[in-house]
Amino acid sequence: MKEQLIQDLRALLGDEAVLTGDAVTGRSAGAFRPDSLSAYALVRPRTTADVAEVMKRCAAMGQPVVTHGGLTGLVRGADASPDELILSMERMTRIEGIDVAGRTMTVEAGVTLQQIQEAAAAVDLYYGVDYGARGTATIGGGIATNAGGNRVIRFGMTRASVLGLEAVLADGRVISSMNTMMKNNSGYDLKQLFIGSEGTLGVVTRAVIRLHEMPASQCTALVAATDFDAVVRLLKHMDRKLGGQLAAFELMWQAYFDLVSTPPAQGRSPFAERYPFYVLLESLGADQEADSVRFMQALEEAMADELIVDATVAQSLDQRDALWRMRDSVEEMFKFGKSFNYDVSLPVSEMRAYADGVSAAAKANWPQGRCWIFGHMGDGNLHVSFSVGDGSDETKHRIDEIVYGPLAAFRGAVSAEHGIGLDKRAWLGVSRTEEELALMRQLKDFLDPQGLLNPGKVV
Amino acid sequence: MKEQLIQDLRALLGDEAVLTGDAVTGRSAGAFRPDSLSAYALVRPRTTADVAEVMKRCAAMGQPVVTHGGLTGLVRGADASPDELILSMERMTRIEGIDVAGRTMTVEAGVTLQQIQEAAAAVDLYYGVDYGARGTATIGGGIATNAGGNRVIRFGMTRASVLGLEAVLADGRVISSMNTMMKNNSGYDLKQLFIGSEGTLGVVTRAVIRLHEMPASQCTALVAATDFDAVVRLLKHMDRKLGGQLAAFELMWQAYFDLVSTPPAQGRSPFAERYPFYVLLESLGADQEADSVRFMQALEEAMADELIVDATVAQSLDQRDALWRMRDSVEEMFKFGKSFNYDVSLPVSEMRAYADGVSAAAKANWPQGRCWIFGHMGDGNLHVSFSVGDGSDETKHRIDEIVYGPLAAFRGAVSAEHGIGLDKRAWLGVSRTEEELALMRQLKDFLDPQGLLNPGKVV
Ligand SMILES: Cc1cc2nc3c(=O)[nH]c(=O)nc-3n(C[C@H](O)[C@H](O)[C@H](O)COP(=O)(O)OP(=O)(O)OC[C@H]3O[C@@H](n4cnc5c(N)ncnc54)[C@H](O)[C@@H]3O)c2cc1C
Ligand SMILES: Cc1cc2nc3c(=O)[nH]c(=O)nc-3n(C[C@H](O)[C@H](O)[C@H](O)COP(=O)(O)OP(=O)(O)OC[C@H]3O[C@@H](n4cnc5c(N)ncnc54)[C@H](O)[C@@H]3O)c2cc1C
């Protein structure tokens, strides 16, 4: 039966559209992954109509399908078993058009974040979403995971940048909602169903994304603080003083900053002393000279008010990039063997208590272990990572309990931005009620009654 | 049977919670409406649990329910027939709390926009959504209609400000998704189902809304332009020069500006000449002195580049308010008898052709009639209004055709912000595909199989 499907799909889409055998299993399972793909076939459509045909045939024979973008997802959301068929967006990479006056771009799902950023920049426009995986992550994957990244305080999650969407349902129906306007209240906003649902409710094939005018100024600083309350006040202070231009507020606890600023890491602290907290701040504005003056003033006031005790402002693009490289050097953690990485969110006012609790529990259980905490504090999002010298499933489970256990009391979320995938499915109940979980399952049954799309993920 | 339900609800919620007879029919049907309510009962719950109990009882006997906020909706979305029961949010008016560090407010659905704005201001915070109906419109109504307003370019529609939501389904189940974080990708984002679905998929009972730091500066100008292309370039120019601080870009065609700036209107044009286009511009920033300088510079550049031909900058709050009052004087239209008002959106680059076509068609059909066009151009949203000396249904239908007919070709939307309600249901197909409409109806059946919630609205 699988043979027949493969033949049918080859006849329909051409031979080079359907890979099997080594051509599939020889491929990596994705970013930071040692394993390779195990699906029995990988189909590479070129158009929405292709995807619809594939889904119709799969629906007719009950064939489960897993959609692949750039495979940079971090929660095993794109894992496919040998029984499953992969639908890869790798040949749907066309930028269909840019409306410079309307400030929108129409793209196929396989276009990468970086391609979007570059195409926008070529006409002096700007895409508000950015994260480390930009060279490989696709817009389809970004939409499916509602990806966040470095500029959420200013431009929101991916959801905020999606104006229009085209998706194929499990039964092959095409839902084309390619709206290009900022405002459209004409009936239910169906695209929301597909944003952030990790490929379990539909295959995203095309999108209209919102662009902004290209910022003409950028100011970046690394600052140090001695207590957490001061950091909370700093966030409010900078946000207010920059009048909507604050674009990043990245907090690093000492252990993480030490990791990325001492050998073997390449980064170096600009400060003579060590501090409990470091924040990487960035603003995006319109006038470099005037904005720099304002940014410096805001920092000086923060210093005078003792919100921060040390600061360095990037004087060049190189210095700016060096500061961001430190912040982004997560791979330094991997030098200590297997690490366990989490992506939670919780109210800013609860972060300190939560972080202290998690660190203490880690120390109590693994006195020699390491625990690193950092994140997009401006968005309530903390990344918590552990390396405890043991990568077993049992250890993972114990750490899961340390990280997720206290979250319910703080009304936090088990995933701030990476999603649920397979990894966090067991913990979803920490952040969602029974009634919510039941409704999610019903929604899944409603849109995909056979359970064909990305089976076993999320719900 | 209805008698029994009323008795049950009185026993459950108290006598003063259930109004009937004159207490209902003596009430106005809402803003700008000459008629009064006709439902047989009006129930006033105090809590989500109350709403859940009401819905359970109504579901058991197949009783349709229409939810009422402030009744400022403009599309007959809250109309209730004598067979229907009204669920009014008028006693759910508690502001439950403000998290100053997290910049969120937790409210019951009946709190008004203005109460939210004032409570936020009291702790130096700011709610990004604002529109004329602020004193009466409720947050529940704003969420149900995904209301837009005057600052959408900067802060987005209501959807962008809703972090958490609690809703009661048609069967009385409570879906509580009271998230307080900017980032939460833990499973499907169920709240999106209820935002903008006009009370047809659930009753919104509580919400967590996002606040911003209070802007410390405001610059407002009225400018004039002679051609539309220049206005398009002005939008891009100002947006870029103000680096994210542009908060309003309100376009008025000459006929509308004349209407609101000549007697009997109170407003007066600050300009000696008349121009084809007027734009009310506003920025919100952090430093009045520096921001004013920047705002003036941006306008001077626009003048030098011939994007604008005249400009006046508000020098005081009074002058600012006077400019906005002109823009908001929609009631001047009502002096010419029955007016028909539309709220469409379309790509900025198509607006000129669309507006010319609509005006010409109106002139051809009603040489003595009037056609006024204005709107939130920064969001692609135009308000188009007509007064043609005849308020008949047949005339309305002819105007509907003039307004909605050409929209499909421009890929516009029949409702930018007011929603569909009863008024635009017949025209929904102009902006949405057959497949979308079918999925909307399925979604309605899925969440409300008996069709109890706001029957006949939207789909
Ligand atoms: C170095 C690095 C940094 C990162 N930083 C961030 C960050 O800051 N913020 C953040 O949010 N994430 C971050 N991520 C995670 C990841 O980049 C995002 O989740 C990204 O959006 C995934 O895109 P992708 O194309 O690689 O999707 P994939 O990994 O291929 O797929 C991810 C999920 O989306 C589904 N999917 C993919 N394409 C489609 C489609 N067209 N239709 C339907 N479903 C689809 C898949 O089935 C899977 O469930 C980072 C990852 C790496 C490796
Ligand atoms: C002077 C004026 C100016 C306006 N300006 C704007 C503007 O700029 N932008 C804009 O978008 N709108 C505008 N409106 C329209 C209107 O104010 C909005 O639609 C507003 O959000 C309606 O809120 P409400 O509480 O009055 O809702 P209602 O009129 O009571 O109800 C509107 C719809 O929402 C449903 N509903 C109400 N509450 C709930 C609830 N708790 N749960 C579920 N469903 C509910 C109703 O059933 C109905 O379908 C304006 C109206 C007026 C009168």
Segment B246-260, tens digit of pLDDT: 999 999 999 999 999
Whether ligand 1 lies within 6 angstroms of the CB of A89 is answered as: yes
Cβ partners under 8 Å of residue B451, min gap 6: B64, B444, B445
Place of tokens 């209407």: B259
State whether the beta carbon of B415 lies less than 6 angstroms from ligand 2.
Answer: no
Q: What is the DSSP annotation of A163-185?
A: EEEEEE-TTS-EEEE---SS---
Average of per-residue pLDDT values in chain A: 97
Kindly list the structural domains of chain B, giving each domain's residue range(s) and its CATH number in brackets, ordered by start: 2-90 (3.30.43.10), 95-213 (3.30.465.10), 217-326 (3.30.70.2190), 330-445 (3.30.70.2740)
Contact between A133 and A150 (Cβ < 8 Å): no
Q: Could you count the other beta carbons within 10 Å of the beta carbon of residue A202?
A: 27
The minimal CB distance from A192 to the residues B101, B152, B189 is found for: B189
The string of DSSP letters for A382-422 reads EEEEEE-S---HHHHHHHHHHHHGGGTTTT-BSBSSS--TT
Which residue from A189, A215, A433 is facing B243, i.e. has the nearest CB? Answer: A215
Alpha carbon distance A136, A90 (integer Å): 10
Q: Do A145 and B428 touch (CB under 8 A)?
A: no
DSSP string for B7-62: HHHHHHH-GGGEEETHHHHTSB-STT--SB---SEEE--SSHHHHHHHHHHHHHHT
B414 touches chain A (CB under 8 A): yes
Contact A196 B188 (CB under 8 A): yes
In whole angstroms, what separates CA B133 from the centre of its chain?
Answer: 9
Interface pTM, i.e. ipTM: 0.97
B456 phi, psi to nearest 5 deg: 80, -5
Is the CB of residue A420 less than 8 Å from the CB of residue B185? yes
CB of A322 less than 8 A from some CB of B? no
Q: Does A305 touch chain B (CB under 8 A)?
A: no
Decide: B260 in ligand 2 pocket, CB within 6 A: no
Query: Cα of B415 to ligand 2 centre, how many Å?
Result: 13
Q: Can you tell me which residue has the tokens 């007064």?
A: B387
Q: How high is the pLDDT of residue A81?
A: 96
Query: Packing angle between helix A254-261 and helix A317-328, nearest 10 degrees?
Result: 120
Instruction: Report the nearest-CA residue for atom 2 of ligand 1.
Output: A133
Cα distances (angstroms) measured from residue A277 to each of A234, A256, A372, B371:
12, 10, 12, 61
Cβ(B314)–Cβ(B271) under 8 Å?
A: no
Q: Is the pLDDT of residue A260 over 90?
A: yes
CA of A38 to the centre of ligand 1 (A): 19
B368 touches chain A (CB under 8 A): no
- What is chain B's mean pLDDT, rounded? 97
Are B236 and A242 in contact (CB < 8 Å)? no
Tell me the shortest Cα–Cα distance from B105 to chain A, in angstroms: 12
CA distances B52 to A317, B170, B173, B193, B265, Å, are 57, 9, 6, 18, 48
Residue B32 confidence (pLDDT) above 90: no
Q: Is the CB of A375 under 6 A from ligand 1?
A: no
CA–CA separation, B161 vs B35, rounded Å?
A: 33
pLDDT tens digits, B169-211: 999 999 999 999 999 999 999 999 999 999 999 999 999 999 9
Contact (CB<8Å) A286/B415: no
Residues 6+ apart with CB under 8 A from A288: A216, A217, A218
Taking residues A104-119, what's their average pLDDT? 98
Find the CB nearest A285 among B148, B243, B420.
B243
Q: Measure CB to CB from residue A435 to each of B160, B173, B412 and give the nearest one.
A: B173
Picking from A193, A208, A174, A198, the residue whose alpha carbon sits closest to that of residue A51 is A174
Can you list the positions of beta strands (E) in A235-369?
246-253, 277-285, 310-313, 340-345
Q: Count Cβ atoms within 10 A of the Cβ of residue B101 and give its class: 0-12 exposed, 13-18 middle, 19 or more buried.
A: middle
Contact A66, A87 (CB under 8 A): yes
Q: Rounded to an integer, what is the distance from CA B4 to the centroid of its chain?
A: 37
Report the residue from B245, B415, B439 with minimal CB separation from A190: B439
- Asked if residue B109 has its Cβ within 6 Å of ligand 2, the reply is yes
B27: pLDDT confidence band, cut at 50, 70 and 90? Answer: very high
Number of the ligand closest to the Cα of B51? 2
Mean pLDDT over B444-448 rounds to 98
Q: Return the residue in A159, A166, A183 with the most chain B beta carbons within 10 A, the one to mutate for interface testing.
A: A183
Spatial separation of the C-alpha atoms in residues A68 and A19, rounded to whole Å: 14
Tell if the CB–CB gap between A180 and B418 is shorter than 8 Å. Answer: no
Helices (H), A72-213: 113-122, 139-144, 152-155, 158-161, 191-194
**Chain A residue closest to B124 (CA)?**
A240
Q: How far apart are CA A162 and CA A184, in angstroms?
A: 12
pTM above 0.95, yes or no: yes
Do residues A92 and A45 lie in contact, with contact meaning Cβ atoms separated by under 8 Å? yes
Tokens 């009401």 belong to residue: B54
Q: How far is CA A303 from CA A226, A284, A311, in A?
A: 12, 21, 8
Atom 46 (ligand 2): residue with closest C-alpha?
B78
C-alpha R_g of chain A: 23
Mean pLDDT on A439-446: 98
Classify the C-alpha dihedral A237-A151-B114-B85 as positive or negative.
negative
Joined tokens for residue A255: 């252990």
pLDDT of residue A322: 97
CA of B72 to the centre of ligand 2 (A): 5
Q: How many CA atoms lie within 13 A of A162 on its CB side?
A: 33
Q: Are A205 and A168 in contact (CB under 8 A)?
A: yes
Question: Cβ contact (<8 Å) for B380 and A183?
Answer: yes
* Spatial separation of the C-alpha atoms in residues A198 and A459, rounded to whole Å: 10
**Which ranges of B282-433 would DSSP assign to H, the alpha helix?**
288-304, 317-327, 351-365, 393-404, 428-431
pLDDT digits (tens, 9 = 90+) for A165-174: 999 999 999 9
Interchain CB contact of B422 with A (< 8 Å): no
Q: How confident is the model at residue B347 (pLDDT cuts 50, 70, 90)?
A: very high
Residues of A in contact with B186 (CB under 8 A): 413-415, 420, 424, 428, 431-432
Please report, for residues A58, A193, A429, B297, B349, the alpha-carbon distance to residue A426 in angstroms, rounded to integers and kept in the order given. 28, 22, 7, 57, 49
- B182 with A158: CB under 8 angstroms? no
Taking the CA of residue A186 and the nearest CA in chain B, the distance in Å comes to 5
DSSP label at residue A27: S
> Tens of pLDDT along B359-411?
999 999 999 999 999 999 989 999 999 999 989 999 999 999 999 999 999 99
Residues 99-158 of A with CB under 8 A from B: 99-104, 145-146, 148, 152-154, 156-157
The finding on whether B64 has its CB within 6 A of some atom of ligand 2 is no
> Would you call A284 an interface residue with chain B, using a CB distance cutoff of 8 Å?
yes
Nearest ligand by distance to the CA of B148: 2
How far B159 CA lies from chain A's nearest CA (Å)?
9
Structure tokens at B449: 């199989």
What does the pLDDT read at residue A1?
79
The count of C-alpha atoms lying within 13 angstroms of the C-alpha of B85, restricted to the half-sphere facing its C-beta, is: 26
pLDDT of residue B1: 79
Checking if the pLDDT of A32 tops 90, the result is no
What is the mean predicted confidence (pLDDT) over A11-27? 97
- pLDDT given at position B37: 97
Residues 381-400 of B with CB under 8 A from A: 381
Q: What is the pLDDT of residue B299?
A: 98
Q: How confident is the model at residue A66 (pLDDT cuts 50, 70, 90)?
A: very high
Segment B263-285, tens digit of pLDDT: 999 999 999 999 999 999 999 99
Amino acid at the residue B126: Y
**Ligand 1 pocket, mutate which of A74, A324, A333 (most atoms under 8 A from CB):** A74
- Tell me if B109 sits within 8 A of B207, measured CB to CB: yes
Q: Which DSSP symbol is given to B350?
A: G
Average pLDDT over residues B345-360: 96
